[in-house]
Amino acid sequence: MAEANELAALIAGDKGAWDRFVRRYAGLILSAVRSLVREGTEAEDLLQEVLVRLCKDNYRLLRTYDPSRAGVSTWLTIVARSTARDVQRRHRPPQSALEDVPETLLAVTDVHREPLKLPKDLLSPRQQLVLTLLYERDLEVAEVAKMLGVDPQTVRSTHHKAMLKLRGHFATQDR
């Protein structure tokens, strides 16, 4: 209950309450962030960042503390570590651009796959043709529709029905 009164005084703007709070919890916050940084000066900077975050916007974050969910020490440790990670993300050097990666590392080897063995009458000739044009020739739906002289929706519908048949076939085969 004393902690609750102390926090209420702190939030009300009592300078003495803030000084006592900092003396009491600065070491805890410093310990919480120290394991996340390389240098001691970084940990001290993060301590300042946590303290600023706690009193920012009229103690908005500090007002969210709920004593029924956790003790002040536990809550401050979580806030400190979260703040440290946020700061680290903001200051992380940008990832290298894809253009900077040697092309040899991005090369994909051609993998030879054997054609699927399907029952002869599983797909209609039109369904087989649509799948061949879409997947083997890598054509767009509009291109396939133009080639076949049909509406693009007909191609999508034919594709959908063929995929349902294939899923059904392979689902029963897996069992």
| CA separation for the pair 100, 127 (Å, rounded) | 43
The ranges assigned to domains in the chain are: 2-91, 118-174
Instruction: Using pLDDT thresholds of 50, 70 and 90, give the confidence band for residue 149.
Output: very high
More confident residue, 9 or 91: 9
| CA separation for the pair 76, 50 (Å, rounded) | 9
Q: For 108-127, what is the mean pLDDT?
A: 77
What pLDDT score was predicted for residue 111? 61
Tell me if 170 sits within 8 A of 116, measured CB to CB.
no
- From 1.10.10.2840, 1.10.1740.10, 1.20.58.1690, 3.40.800.10, which CATH number describes the 2-91 domain? 1.10.1740.10
- Would you say residue 112 has pLDDT above 80? no
Residue 158: other Cβ atoms inside 10 A = 23
Instruction: Using pLDDT thresholds of 50, 70 and 90, give the confidence band for residue 175.
Output: low
Closest CA to 88 of 26, 44, 31, 36: 36
Whether the predicted model's global pTM rises above the 0.85 cut: no
Q: What integer best gives the mean pLDDT of the chain?
A: 83
Give the tens place of pLDDT for each residue, 30-47: 888 887 877 767 888 888
| CA separation for the pair 41, 34 (Å, rounded) | 10
Hey, what CATH class is 118-174 in? mainly alpha
In angstroms, the Cα distances linking 29 to 26, 52, 70, 79, 130 are 5, 12, 16, 9, 63
- Would you say residue 126 has pLDDT above 90? yes
